[in-house]
Chain A
Amino acid sequence: MLHVLGRQTLQVISGFGDFAIFTGASFRSITHARRLPRRIFRAVYEQGTRCLPVILIVGSFTGLVLGLQGYYVLNRFGSEGLLGALVSLSLVREMAPVLAALMLVGQAGSALAAELGIQRNSEQIVALETMGVSSHGYLVAPRVLAALVVFPLQTALFVAVGLWGGSLSGSLLLGVQPGIYWSSVEEAVGAADVRECFLKAATFGLLTISLCAYHGFNAHRCRSATGAQAVSASTTLAVVQSSIVVLVADYVITSFLV
């Protein structure tokens, strides 16, 4: 029992170390990667366009639900005027960074893990190395750098459509004055809240896209399966671990900033 626990603990620690080395190698490769801006723009476009519809849909419905729930809770205390503050602070501080990150993991992260896994299986990654091309610099670094841009932008978009959803349910459906709603938003959200929002988004982007790239890149090291099944298992593991990491990192960042 103790032996098994010890072995698993060591495996987890070694996994953390391996992931840290992988991420470090990706950042180190930036210094000698050629035509990197072009690859970053491409990655920004791919990650951004792939996730745009889902961000718009989830963001607007999150806002709509927050508006409904918030209105009925605030109505008990006669404080409907604070609906904008409730919706905006919920979105900016917690819901937008977390939900947008989870959506991005489900779309861009899973696609990245699967793509790299297939490239590993078909020897495309080894082929890059034989050409003298850094596989980290060509395949991983542009995606990670793009995530540092895309995650905050998508989070901002999530907040915008969420606020619009809150206003729709609060003002149009339940009768809160739009002016009161939007002025409440303006008064409630400060620079520190926006900073926290973007800090969370960028951190989630860095961690999750690196993690998805790590699992795809190392699909050939999957213990439980080989070939196509290894790609599938690595992609699943990447999405599950990334989702957990988002929630854990959210707690850690919040506990430091609150």
Chain B
Amino acid sequence: MDTAQQDHLLQVKGLHKSFGSHQVLKGVTLDVPSGSIFSVLGPSGAGKSVLLKCLANILHPDAGQIRFDGAPLDPADPLARRAFQRRSSFLFQNNALFDSLTALQNTALPLEQTTDLPDRIIRERSLQALQQLDMEGYGNHYPGQLSGGMQKRLALARAIVTNPELVFFDEPTAGLDPLRRNAVFAMIAQYQRRCGFTALIVTHDVVEALIASDRVALLEQGRICFEGTPAEFSSSSLPVVCGFRDSAAALERSLAEIRSSLPSQ
């Protein structure tokens, strides 16, 4: 195993995924450094969620190679798959919390079902995870009794309770207002530093991702068009990067044009 492999927790090479005749991923290649926050940016429909689900073993890629901690990940091998799942977690866009379980039971679920730890230890570790996410005192609340932000934190508590090395975040800020978007990215950055996991985020929120991430990649039409630091992304002159980076400004310009073309009342 060379040094590059050791430094990169997740390495993806030539990943392809199609649904029928529709090719979603067309040879995605990227390297996620250990202990970093890595954001994959891209417009809606670029294949970000499909990429994340392929990496998290929810979908099986048609071709390509995924290496986790230097070792190739074979989706067809159930033992390797289970070992990978024990070392990673997935935070869903809609949190995917069990609404019939309390916050404490939701947090304890992965430990209860994947380890033989005694109930007392599971309870302690679950309470500790809730405490890390500033949710002590909410253990007996059901997800429906919590606010959107707290549900997100609860989902993160469930994701980190097993001490994963890698956490996947699927559009963690989808449908949130700018203030809440900032809060979610700040939360991810804060707890990533506190817990030390590697975070792989897919999002289309450019500004927040550039502030919170150590590295970013741009996925466009099923291919990685750019990979680098946020500073490199901000200064890149690649047309596709400029187009995406400046999309907000372009939208504003289009709106101004539409407004000016409307007859004044």
Contact = CB atoms under 8 A, between A and B. Distances in A.
Interface of A: 34-35, 119, 122-124, 126-133, 138
A131 B113 contact: yes
Contacts of B56: 130
A126 B59 CA distance: 10
B89 A123 contact: no
Contact of A126 (B82, B96, B97, B98): B96
Contact of B109 (A122, A126, A129, A133): A133
Contacts of B110: 131-133
Nearest to A119: B98
Nearest to A34: B113
Contacts of B57: 130
The range of chain B's interface size is 20 to 34
A123 B82 contact: no
Given A127-B92, A130-B57, 13 more contacts: A35-B113, A122-B94, A122-B96, A124-B96, A127-B90, A127-B96, A129-B58, A130-B89, A131-B89, A131-B90, A131-B114, A131-B162, A132-B86
Given A127-B96, A131-B85, A34 B116 contact: yes
Contacts of B58: 126, 129-130
Contacts of B114: 34, 131-133
25 contacts: A34-B113, A34-B114, A34-B115, A122-B94, A122-B96, A122-B99, A123-B94, A124-B97, A124-B98, A126-B58, A126-B92, A127-B90, A127-B92, A128-B113, A130-B56, A130-B57, A130-B58, A130-B85, A130-B89, A131-B114, A132-B86, A133-B109, A133-B110, A133-B113, A138-B113
Contacts of B124: none
B92 A35 contact: no
B112 interface: yes
Interface string B97-125: 11100000000011011111000000000
A122 B90 CA distance: 14
Contacts of A127: 90, 92, 96
